[in-house]
Structure 1
Amino acid sequence: MTPLEHPSECIQCGTCVSVCPVEKVGGHAIVTFLADPSETDFSAWLCTSCWRCHQACPVGVDIYGLMMAWRRRSPAPSGYLESYERLLETGLALPIAQQTLDEIRASWGLERVVLPVPEVARVLLKVHP
């Protein structure tokens, strides 16, 4: 397998990092890739596929395409596929009980939100042709 290389057209301006939602919450998907694109780790799996980096890049580096190429190099981290399947099934990436959600939201001073039952989530998330 040919190693991925740092994109030669990248001017390291940091614009992609400044618009990345993962980078904003402390993940390092883009930074890790640009630091050493020959390595693969779980960081590529943090990418939310929002394309903000791609749209913001002033020189047109296909960062999203590079991240997806990086993902194809290694298996998904433990729990990733289960979370994805749970999201499609229930609308929730992480399992959480209604009582736990109520307690967390109350501690933050937020109103109660009722979790959708799996049947409703399935209907809402169903892709229609």
Structure 2
Amino acid sequence: MSKHPIFAMAFAKVYPMYVQKVERKNQSKNDVDRIICWLTGYDQAGLEAQIEKQVDFATFFGEAPSMHPNCHLIKGVVCGVRVEEVEDPLMQKIRWLDKLIDELAKGKKMEKILRE
């Protein structure tokens, strides 16, 4: 089974697209960073270091300090796929992040996005 091309894509290439998506909806880059740090366990310096190093998605999630214990509560559809049914663990993490960014762009309250 071949690996999906996004696994080798630089996280730093997609990150600005996440920011642009939410800024178009009057949300902030700080909120994007907060979501990413919540999900992955990176602190702000760690997130910025990964972006600076131009790591791919596989490395970004592979080096993540710890996925949030409530990430299993992320449910819904992204690109026509239910995130809770994604079988590949790396693809599921990417879809979780996509889902959280979508929720932010749609104006969902941060407490609900972070499953608090």
TM-score normalised to structure 2 length: 0.26
In terms of Rg, which structure is larger?
1
Indicate the structure whose relative CO is greater, using CA pairs within 8 Å and at least 6 residues apart. 2
Tell me the TM-score normalized by structure 1: 0.25
Instruction: Give the helix-richer structure, 1 or 2.
Output: 2
